[in-house]
A and B are shown apart, each in its own frame.
Chain A
Amino acid sequence: MRKALAVARKEFRQIVRDTRTLTILLVVPVFFLLLYGYALNFDIRHVRLAIDDRDHTVASRSLVAAFVNSGYFDLVASITDADTNRLMDRNDVRAILVIPSGLGRAVRTAHPVAVQVLLNGDNANTATTVMGYALTIIRSESVRYAPARAAPVVTVEPRIWYNPQLRSTLFLVPGLIAYITMITAVVSTALSIVREKERGTMEQVRMAPVDTAAFVVGKTVPYFVISFVSASVIIVASMLLFGMPMRGSWGLLMLAVSLFLVGALGLGLLISSAAETQQVAFQLAMLASFLPTFILSGFIFPISSMPRFLQVITYAIPARYFLTALRAIVLKGARLDAFWMELVALAVFATVVLTLAAVRLRRQWT
């Protein structure tokens, strides 16, 4: 164990003197968080709206006001029919509200009347969301004019738990934490061992009476500590910058982060046993951490809508379990009984990769 300590102390000293690794471990994660946190945003606001008002009555002005006051639309132009194509083609506006003449008279006499909403459908997601906003606004305006009309028998009273404003950042930030932590932990561990292979120091150490376990433990502990600090920094930053709540237990959060990190470090070790150069190690590490964590973890794309065979693959992606646990802890404040299976899965993943890595490294060792 003293020898593991000697390896760990050396590794710490090396990391502290190695500005590049330190940057990868501590600065890049925060940078990623800012970049993705602000750029990756599915909320739609400031939709550029043009109005083609052919009615010019109190009722038509009130409808326009309802759109503007909703906060989702920015009124950029008041136009006539002739401008429609030009504005849409040039993306000057994403939506046009066409109010037919006679709206005012129709609402006074309580006759049904239609208004037209033209939407730019080049981004289907955005168009769907904008259409939803427009329908809601028009419906609530409509109710003001015909309060007496029989209401539908069954109505919906939606209440959204954990994220009432449906802010997509609250959904994305836990994914980001998993994604960033995974990449930095895997890349840094894989590189640190392969670098020793390249420099020949690995061979020198192998000539000493040190067993694989002591070497691996000594190599991993410093990266665990630093990755843990780095993960904590981005978790706290997520709370300060993106208003991520913390509704559950800090202890459980740290437990989940630790289990996830051990698995990630194990994966890094496994890669280092397969790669002989830092370049190959880097590419393997990115391939093994970046894509699966981004695409197959439920970070952005819901696992339940994936084809069956992809869903099966996601069971081998540790970020999948970590994300579920993380969302359960920070957003839902759930107790352990809600996500203990995920923690067990993380522990299993960590055990499997560490064992594989140890076996492979030991085989190379002698």
Chain B
Amino acid sequence: MTAGERTMSAISVSGLTKRFGDFVAVDRLTFDVREGEIFGFLGSNGAGKSTTIRMLCGLLTPTSGDATVGGVDVSRDPEGVKRRIGYMSQRFSLYERLTVDQNITFFGGIYGLAGDRLAARRRFVVDMAGLQGREQTRAADLAGGWRQRLALGCAILHEPPIVFLDEPTGGVDPVSRREFWNLIDQLSGSGVTVLVTTHYLDEAEHCHRVAIIHAGRLAAIGTTAELKRVFADRAIVEVHAANPIEAMRRLDDMPEIEKTSVFGTAVHAVLKPGVTGVAPAIKARLEQAGVPVASIAPVEPSLEDVFLEVAESASMATKA
């Protein structure tokens, strides 16, 4: 069974570490990504997401630890890794002066595609990106969503079994983002493994599993439902008040509240373990203190709550 599981791992990372001088960018990461899975990589800027991806793509040599991608060891055979993966960054790195068609020809060329296979893949990419009739348009003249889909198309021209997407939805409108995630679902449905980094937490809901990286370390891993279980015994109350800052200050002083954080215009208050049904009491006390409350209600923990919670406890663990 163990052997069976191993062959099902598209990416397998164990104790992966990268140091730049004294700075530890990635610290003993260990995780597995299953074939066909959409695996989300969450973390604030500088958490080590891009460094990890660059190691997994064979672009950076790990300081220590092991990683295999598509069954190939990234330290021993980075070129072999490159043949098995597709990579797309937030910059949608296309040649702007070249047309859609010429970009496809070039990327096909450096992946060694030619003849009928290139022609077939060209049709596939143009259809997938919805660029029919725009083959002769320069990449610079395409709107963000199209460029993004073309960049994805160029990254998967050679039909890689594993695709890395580094912040793929940056600077793209919401409709295009949705369409893009539909494409990723389709890819995953056809058996392609997708490892995607993002800092849009709502996008993490599209992922089968997510890993939260904090200061180079793995802070949490699992399905979004699993991750939300850190709040299994703690309720969260969302408070809408005219003066959220003042409300937060008052809430922090209340004995049944563990901590608070700002959520847009609202305040999320995490209650201490086991405390429930105190919303009306809290409302009354806030209003008594001169803070009018528009609404107050228990809410399901969002991924953002999870993220903040996990990042905070990871920081405490680092300091300890």
Contacts and interface: CB of A to CB of B under 8 A. Distances in A.
Interface residues of A, number: 24
A2 B109 contact: yes
Interface residues of B, number: 33
A201 B91 CA distance: 9
A10 B95 contact: yes
Contacts of A207: 57, 59, 82, 85, 87
B224 interface: no
A5 B109 contact: yes
B59 A10 contact: no
B106 A209 contact: no
A362 interface: no
Interface in B87-132: 87-89, 91, 93-98, 102, 105-112, 114
Contacts of B114: 2
Nearest to A15: B97
A199 B109 contact: no
B109 A13 contact: no
A10 B109 contact: yes
Given A17-B97, A208-B82, A366-B78, A10 B87 contact: no
A200 interface: yes
B93 to A, nearest CB: 4
A6 B78 CA distance: 22
A6 B94 contact: no
Contact of B94 (A5, A7, A201, A210): A201
Interface string B1-37: 0000000000000000000000000000000000000
A366 B54 CA distance: 10
Interface string A3-15: 1011101100110
A205 B110 contact: yes
Nearest to A365: B59
B79 interface: yes
A165 interface: no
A2 B154 CA distance: 18
Interface string A177-221: 000000000000000000000011101111111110000000000
Nearest to B58: A366
B83 interface: yes
A326 to B, nearest CB: 35
Q: Chain B interface secondary structure, helix, strand, loop or mixed?
A: mixed
A6 B93 contact: no
A18 interface: yes
Contacts of B93: 199-201, 203-204
B137 interface: no
Which of B59, B93, B96, B112 has the most C-beta atoms of chain A within 10 angstroms of its own C-beta?
Answer: B93
A200 B91 contact: yes
B96 A204 contact: no
B61 interface: yes
Contacts of A14: 95, 97-98
Contacts of A209: 79, 82-83, 110-112
B89 A204 contact: yes
Nearest to A214: B110
Contacts of A366: 58-61, 78
B82 A201 contact: no
A203 B106 CA distance: 15
A10 B102 CA distance: 7
B96 A10 contact: no
Contacts of A204: 87-89, 93, 107, 154-155
A3 B109 contact: yes
B89 A200 contact: yes
Contacts of A211: 79
Contacts of B58: 366
B107 A208 contact: yes
A14 to B, nearest CB: 5
B97 A18 contact: yes
B59 A201 contact: no
A10 B111 contact: no
Interface in A245-293: none
B110 A7 contact: yes
Which of B106, B107, B108, B109 has the most C-beta atoms of chain A within 10 angstroms of its own C-beta?
Answer: B109
Interface of A: 2-3, 5-7, 9-10, 13-14, 17-18, 199-201, 203-211, 366
19 contacts: A2-B112, A5-B109, A7-B110, A9-B106, A13-B98, A13-B102, A14-B97, A17-B98, A199-B91, A200-B89, A201-B94, A204-B89, A207-B59, A207-B87, A208-B82, A208-B107, A209-B82, A209-B83, A366-B59
Q: Which 8 A-B pairs have the closest CB atoms?
A: A6-B109, A200-B91, A204-B93, A207-B87, A200-B93, A10-B106, A209-B82, A17-B97
Given A6-B106, A204-B93, A207-B82, 16 more contacts: A3-B110, A3-B112, A6-B109, A6-B110, A7-B110, A10-B109, A13-B98, A199-B91, A199-B93, A199-B96, A200-B91, A201-B93, A204-B88, A204-B89, A366-B58, A366-B59
